[in-house]
Structure 1
Amino acid sequence: MEKLKRLWLDFFQSERTADWWGRKKDMCKKRDTEIVRIQGDGHIFSKIRYDNEWVYHYLLHVSFFMKQGDHFHLEEQVIPYQFRLKNGEVVNHKEIEPILQQESAPSILPDDTRNDLEERFSYDRQAAVQYAERWWNSYNPDYRKFDVDCTNYISQCLRAGGAPMHGAPDRSRGWWYSGDNWSFSWAVAHSLRWYLSGSTKGLQGKEVQSAEELIPGDVICYDFQGDGRWDHNTIVVAKDAYGMPLVNAHTDNSRNRYWSYEDSTAWTSDIQYKFFRIGE
């Protein structure tokens, strides 16, 4: 296993990964950021044999030591790959692109019209960020793990920060999780984006115009194709040396990742973002 891991890490660092590496370097150049050092580790989570070759699925955990002026920070990303091994040599590899939509759901979720909810709630940003850091690369057993887990993870972070749940058991109302059931807005990226835009009770988000206005505990929503279907959510956990958000996320698990996601295989030039200040 160690020999195979070394073989794959050597391959990952070779020129054959130029496309992925090129995206990363271009983004760092625009940020005036230097990658000082890279460390890689990971594990194989499945393998299938076909005649004289093996197909492996591998989770590569990469740590980037980043420098911006006199400031340093650590960025981490877990990247799923598939590669073929034939006669002891890696002959093909590709990054496994994330599934962006888990299920269809309403675009706009109406507010719960009951009067027993505070119009404002006290949001503990530190608690939300602490939760995001604790579970960025693992899964809280108190909640279900989804194949597309990004919004479920963000909802857990918001809940840890004190966001009140309401609307159960109607999946198309409110924002809530209860045992084996949950609202669309809890687990589906598209629905959470629209819920944050429209909610006036319980969990609320105030849209701002730029990423720079966000602070730790806030949320960014992503429409990678620019087609009106929102695909992904992240939570801001820190700011870089230039005041721009660094985010945590699930599905392709990431920590302190630069908010724009230009290094993602899902990124396109048509990408759209929504920036939400939570609890204000």
Structure 2
Amino acid sequence: MREQLQNLLEQRVRQYVSQARNNLHDCPFIEKAKESCSNRGAEIVKTKAEGKITNEGKNEEGEEVFYQVHYNFLIKQQNSFFIEERVENRKAEFYKGVLVTDEELSFDSLGVSKEKEMLVENTNEIDRIENSDGEEERKVFRYDRLRAVQYAERWWNDYNPAYKSFEVDCTNYISQCVHAGGAPMHGYANRSKGWWMRSNNWSYSWSVANSMRLYLPSSKTGLRAKEVKEPSQLSLGDVICYDFQGDGRFDHTTIVTAKDAQGMPLVNAHTTNSRMRYWAYEDSTAYTSNIKYKFFTILDDQ
């Protein structure tokens, strides 16, 4: 049964990519990616995709298959080429070997809703991020941007078993990247204090997007950051925070891992796992016209 489903799935993925190449509009995921490229003077010149079953089962109508499509977009911008990678999560239903439905599972939007739920549950704690840094020994470090980016590249589509992972994993992943760059943890074991993860416990600032956005510019020791006005001012290893609804609660976090031909950031992220994705997220299912951004450059201690 699994081999049959895998064969059906591989046929579906080939059909899906072929439709995208022919500019058919029943591939909204890829259509949005094309539009995002066009907005910045770039184009997708080649698309490659591979499908992988993540779960399967039966329902009253037949078989249902949850799967991931791993995309490679070869993008040309001016005289430069780069590859963007992204993982789309989908669900397909088959009846007697015939495809009945196939739809995207919008984990970008799911991540936002889950993040909002967490914020509602912990509003008081998250809004009261404490930085009693003067009470602790000053932790001096020089941020190793190369190591942060190397970590981001290694784990963009995987989960380091040394850390707990979350259904909404974006900020946890960014914290790991920045920590790999040398940023020291501190504040254990008060979850509303400092920035840390240990065993099965962690600070809000480590794992919650809105909490990290509050923590970065207010910290006075260890991990510190300065807000800048424009994304072009960011360097590799810097952080972008996203408020998709524009309501003051930030839902997503990414790390800069490259620059495009115009000097604008390309980012890696978790939740909808992405690599070398254009920073603005205009092709995200969570994107709205009210979106707001915060751009943070990580500071060295001198």
TM-score (norm. length: structure 1):
0.95
CA RMSD of aligned residues (A): 1.5
* 1:121 counterpart residue number: 141
Q: Deviations over 1:147-177 (max 9, x none)?
A: 1111111000010001111110000000011
Match of 1:231 in 2: 251
Partners of 1:108 and 1:195 within 8 A in 2: no
Structure 2 gaps, min length 5:
none
Tell me, yes or no, if the aligned pair for 1:109 and 1:198 is still in contact at 8 Å: no
Distance in 2 separating the partners of 1:19 and 1:137? 22
Deviating 4+ runs (over 4 angstroms): none
Identity of aligned residues (%): 47
Do 2:13 and 2:51's aligned partners in 1 also have CA atoms closer than 8 Å?
no
Closer, same or farther: CA 12–107 of 1 in aligned 2, 3 Å: farther
Aligned to 2:290: 270
In 1, Cα distance between equivalents of 2:82 and 2:221: 37
**Distance (Å, rounded) in 2 between the aligned partners of 1:21 and 1:77:** 11
Between 246-255 and 49-58, the greater mean CA deviation after superposition:
49-58
Aligned partners of 1:121 and 1:279 also within 8 Å: no
- Verify the 8 A CA contact 2:244 2:291 in the aligned structure 1: yes
Give the partner amino acid of 2:7. Answer: K
- Residue matched to 1:5: 9
Larger proportion of helix: 2
Alignment of 1:16-55 (within 5 A): 17-55=26-64
- What's the CA shift string for 1:163-221, capped at 9, x where partnerless? 11111000000001111111011011111111113112221110000111111000000
* d(CA) in 2 for partners of 1:142, 1:36: 38
1:121-270 equivalent positions in 2, closer than 5 A = 121-270=141-290
| Count, aligned residues | 279
Q: Secondary structure at the match of 1:73?
A: strand
Q: What is the CA–CA distance in structure 1 between the aligned matches of 2:298 and 2:128, rounded to whole Å?
A: 18
Q: Report how far residue 17 of structure 1 moved.
A: 2.8
The alpha-carbon deviation at position 108 of structure 1 amounts to 4.3
Q: Distance in 1 between matches of 2:168 and 2:97?
A: 33
CA shift for structure 1 position 11: 4.0
- In structure 1, what residue type is equivalent to 2:98? E
Residue 213 of structure 2 aligns to a residue in which SS? Answer: helix
Residue identity opposite 2:256 in structure 1 = V
Give the secondary structure class of the aligned counterpart of 2:135.
coil
Cα distance change of structure 1 residues 34 and 16 upon mapping to structure 2, 3 Å threshold: closer
Letter in 2 for 1:48: G
Normalising by structure 2, we get a TM-score of: 0.88
Structure 1's unaligned 5+ residue stretches are none
**SS of match in other structure, 1:8:** helix
Aligned to 1:75: 84
C-alpha contact 1:246 1:257 (8 A) present in aligned 2:
yes
